Amino acid sequence: MNEIDLMFGPARVLGIQQLLCAMLASFVLAMTVATVYRWTYQGLSYSRAFVHTQVLAAIVTSILIMAIGNNLARGLGILGTLAIIRFRTPIRDPRDIIFLFACLAIGIASGAAVFSVAIVGTIFFCLVALYLHSSPFSSMRVYEGLLRFNLPAGSASREIVRDIFGKYCSNAVLVAMREAIQGEAMEFSYQIRLRDPTFHDEMLDELRNIEDITDVNILMHRATVEI
């Protein structure tokens, strides 16, 4: 059989055992990746459908690879078909894209019957994902918040407030100042960073003990909140 027949002729026919073995391998390995994804997920908008998509995507990719085989014409035809389909589901987290791409890689390796690559790659990927989840690598533990309070116009208590900031905060920046209570008071908004999260209540107590300060409240920022 010449090269043209290999590239454009019918793809080799796989046996039922080979088909089932490839799809079973892609299913088991994709389930492993999906389980690690569930264990290490830290966002708020968890999607059960996305976890199912990871497993099903690996199986579908495996089927496509087995259908293409070494047939170039069939591969180009499937590529053109996929180009027509528009996937409009947004994926907001880059980490989700990597997990989905890992499942696609598992499907490709299983469909091509390169099971050693699929198994070793899955194990290594899952171990690295678990390590990154449990280790402090790339984590940034800062305790930031938005502090608001009212002071009478021309009050000298701002100096006391600055002293309190110096005691409990590593950084405090005035981000907004506007009139309140029909000009009788000023509302101050500070972006603060606490030296320690336990200082939260103590700082609020000291601020509220100032005679002419009112409406003291703080909103702590959280990196896991999705807007």
Q: What is the pLDDT of residues 150-181, one digit of tens each?
A: 888 777 788 888 888 888 888 888 888 888 77
Give domain status of residue 226, yes or no.
no
Domain extent at residue 192: 143-220
State whether 122 and 153 are in the same domain: no
pTM above threshold 0.85:
no
Total domains, the chain: 2
For each successive 10 residues of the chain (227 residues), what is the average pLDDT?
50 75 92 92 80 90 82 70 67 84 89 88 93 74 79 82 87 85 82 81 87 84 49
Last residue of a domain, one of 134, 159, 180: 134
Give domain status of residue 23, yes or no.
yes
Give domain status of residue 225, yes or no.
no
Closest residue by Cα to residue 173 from 215, 150, 151, 144: 144
At residue 129, the 3 state secondary structure works out as: helix
- Start-to-end C-alpha separation, the chain: 59
Domain with 150 in it: what CATH number? 3.30.70.260
pLDDT of 227 reads 38
